[in-house]
């Protein structure tokens, strides 16, 4: 009998590039879905966007869980264990459930005579897990783009696009208009289609109009308000609002559990999605309040308690690292800042690191392996070429880079580990070994 490790090795071998293998298109995965006779039995929320997808999924899953429903959440990539990708009521599913699902998918794949990528196989298996568990709501995070992403074989009752920025341009196009069209591919005719980007590309607006989606926009149909700066007694609160069938809804809430001002965007669109599903999946404020406050998600401006302060962030494109730069500005004073950075070669590395110009005292740069990895030496050239300032030290692995930064940093310093899921995963592994 195959173990989970056996199955994951099998999935890796299905494509020459393993996990990194990308072949956009729905024909293959749809054929296997039909062979599995998968049918939707509960409300489905599909979440796409460049940044903020994982946080939005986490808020949705946590609130729906607090409301007493059985909820499944499928996200990617994972940090430490594949099981993180498939969660039931916030908990990673066990190996046995995944292995059983993988076996069913493999049988259907062989019967269909088609090949699947790692992500396609995993998406079908996640649905098998959710169906076996009898979930009452399913949240599916887009892996890449939207229109041709494997999760788009399912029919969303609500579709969310969080924000749109330049990333994966080799696959999605060279500008926000191209990318916006691909993201909008998860919208459906007559169904709520939410966008939390403050300036959505015209291509997204046009596609939503062309298919007759029920488009709901940040600032027009839902949004948030921060308290005035002088109202210090309310500084830990914010107000969410949404225009619904019954008129304008307003709620005053405590700040979400995830850190950073941009989390109000993610929380706002999550609440707007739940409002749109109110007739099929009602949730109360008794679920919303703790659901927001108690949401945790590794690697999203995650601050590790202790000294020196350690911040983990999976941000890997210019927009995400601008947000990281803004967030660290609000952390208070630190004597020195050490950056542990590893990035993939298909990212805009120079553009991503630019927001940290003059903010890092020592760069601990790490090589990331695999076909998409970038060497520490290449990162060093980019840091020097961008005149970002700070000393440079190169390492072979993220764990080694983090360990060196910890040894160098004093109690009044901070360490930022960011640039890729692989970087944060390596840093977490090193921290866990020390713990």
Measured between alpha carbons, how far is 16 from 341 in angstroms, rounded to an integer?
A: 27
Q: Are residues 208 and 144 in the same domain?
A: yes
Q: Are residues 88 and 203 in the same domain?
A: yes
Locate tokens 């060196």: which residue? 404
SS3 assignment, position 309: strand
Inter-axis angle of helices 285-293 and 263-276, nearest 10: 150
**Domain housing 188:** 4-293
Q: Are residues 19 and 77 in the same domain?
A: yes
Contact between residue 427 and residue 417 where contact means Cβ atoms under 8 Å apart: yes
CATH number at residue 407: 3.90.190.20
Beta bridge partners of 312: 302, 417
Measured between alpha carbons, how far is 309 from 406 in angstroms, rounded to an integer?
A: 10
Q: Are residues 255 and 147 in the same domain?
A: yes
Three-point CA angle 21, 90, 430, nearest 5°: 65
- As a whole number of Å, the CA-based R_g of the chain is 21
Please give the C-alpha separations between residue 255 and each of 167, 173, 289, 412, in angstroms, as whole numbers: 29, 36, 9, 27
> Rounded to an integer, what is the distance from CA 210 to the centroid of its chain?
28
In sequence order, the 6+-apart residues with CB closer than 8 A to the CB of 277 are 43, 45, 157, 158, 192
Q: Are residues 255 and 366 in the same domain?
A: no
Measured between alpha carbons, how far is 36 from 30 in angstroms, rounded to an integer?
A: 10
Q: What are the pLDDT digits (tens) for 381-401?
A: 999 999 999 999 999 999 999
Structure tokens at 30: 């749809």
Whole-prediction pTM: 0.90
Q: Are residues 68 and 193 in the same domain?
A: yes
Locate tokens 């850190």: which residue? 259
Instruction: Spell out, as residue ranges, where the chain has pLDDT lower than 70.
Output: 15-22, 166-174, 227-235, 433-435
Structure tokens at 137: 């709501």
Strands (DSSP E) found in 112-256: 137-141, 158-161, 192-195, 214-217, 222-225, 237-244, 247-254
- Within a domain: residue 434? no
Structure tokens at 50: 């460049």
Contact between residue 391 and residue 363 where contact means Cβ atoms under 8 Å apart: yes
Q: What is the pLDDT of residue 18?
A: 45
Q: Are residues 234 and 334 in the same domain?
A: no
Strands (DSSP E) found in 359-411: 362-366, 391-395
Q: What are the pLDDT digits (tens) for 107-161?
A: 999 999 999 999 999 999 999 999 999 999 999 999 988 899 999 999 999 999 9
Q: What is the pLDDT of residue 168?
A: 55
Measured between alpha carbons, how far is 387 from 384 in angstroms, rounded to an integer?
A: 5
**Average pLDDT of the residues of the chain:** 91
Q: What are the pLDDT digits (tens) for 205-220?
A: 999 999 999 999 999 9
Q: What is the pLDDT of residue 435?
A: 45
Final residue of a structural domain among 293, 317, 350 = 293
Measured between alpha carbons, how far is 106 from 336 in angstroms, rounded to an integer?
A: 52
- Within a domain: residue 435? no
CATH number at residue 64: 3.40.1190.10
Q: Are residues 307 and 289 in the same domain?
A: no
DSSP string across 161-201: E----S--HHHH-SSHHHHHHHHGGG--TTSEEEE--SS--
Measured between alpha carbons, how far is 112 from 96 in angstroms, rounded to an integer?
A: 24
Instruction: Count how many domains the chain has.
Output: 2
SS3 assignment, position 417: strand
Closest CA to 288 of 263, 258, 252, 324: 252
Identify the H or E element spanning 310: strand 309-313
Structure tokens at 318: 């210019």
Q: Are residues 235 and 327 in the same domain?
A: no
Q: What is the pLDDT of residue 218?
A: 96
Measured between alpha carbons, how far is 79 from 255 in angstroms, rounded to an integer?
A: 26
> Rounded to an integer, what is the distance from CA 390 to the centroid of its chain?
30
Q: Are residues 270 and 362 in the same domain?
A: no
């Amino acid at each position: 009998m195959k173990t989970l490790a056996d199955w994951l090795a099998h999935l890796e071998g299905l494509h020459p590039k393993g996990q990194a293998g990308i072949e956009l298109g729905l024909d293959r995965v749809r054929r296997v879905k039909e062979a599995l006779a998968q049918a939707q039995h509960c409300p489905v929320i599909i979440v796409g966007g460049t940044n903020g997808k994982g946080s939005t999924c986490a808020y949705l899953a946590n609130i729906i869980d607090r409301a007493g429903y059985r909820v499944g959440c499928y996200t990617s990539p994972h940090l430490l264990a594949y099981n993180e990708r498939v969660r039931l009521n916030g908990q990673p599913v066990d190996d046995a459930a995944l292995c059983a699902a993988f076996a069913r998918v493999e049988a259907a794949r062989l019967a269909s005579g088609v090949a699947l990528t790692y992500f396609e196989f995993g998406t079908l298996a996640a649905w098998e897990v959710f169906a076996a568990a009898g979930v009452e709501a399913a949240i599916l995070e887009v892996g890449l783009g939207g229109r041709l992403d494997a999760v788009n074989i399912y029919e969303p009752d609500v579709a969310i696009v969080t924000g749109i920025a330049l990333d994966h341009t080799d696959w999605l196009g060279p500008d926000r208009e191209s990318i916006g069209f691909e993201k909008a591919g998860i919208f459906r005719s007559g169904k709520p289609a939410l966008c939390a980007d403050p300036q959505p590309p015209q291509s997204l607006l046009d596609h939503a109009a062309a298919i007759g989606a029920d488009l709901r926009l940040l600032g027009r149909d839902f949004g948030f308000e921060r308290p005035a700066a002088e109202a210090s007694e309310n500084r830990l609160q914010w107000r969410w609002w949404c225009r619904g069938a019954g008129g304008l809804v307003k709620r005053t809430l405590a700040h979400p559990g995830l850190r950073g001002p941009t989390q109000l965007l993610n929380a706002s669109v999550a609440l707007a999605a739940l409002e749109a599903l109110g007739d099929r999946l009602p949730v109360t404020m008794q679920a919303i309040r703790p659901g927001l406050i108690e949401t945790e998600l590794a690697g999203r401006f995650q601050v590790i308690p202790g000294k020196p302060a350690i911040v983990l962030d999976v941000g890997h494109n210019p927009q995400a690292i601008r947000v990281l730069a803004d967030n660290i500005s609000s952390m208070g004073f630190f004597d020195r800042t050490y950056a542990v950075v590893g990035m993939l070669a298909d990212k805009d590395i120079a553009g991503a690191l630019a927001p940290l110009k003059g903010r890092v005292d020592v760069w601990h740069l790490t090589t990331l392996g695999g076909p998409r990895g970038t060497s520490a030496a290449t990162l060093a050239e980019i840091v020097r070429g961008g005149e970002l300032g700070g000393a440079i030290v190169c390492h072979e692995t993220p764990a080694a880079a983090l360990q060196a930064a910890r040894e160098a940093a004093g109690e009044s310093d901070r360490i930022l580990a960011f640039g890729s899921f692989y970087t944060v995963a390596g840093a977490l592994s090193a921290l866990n070994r020390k713990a």
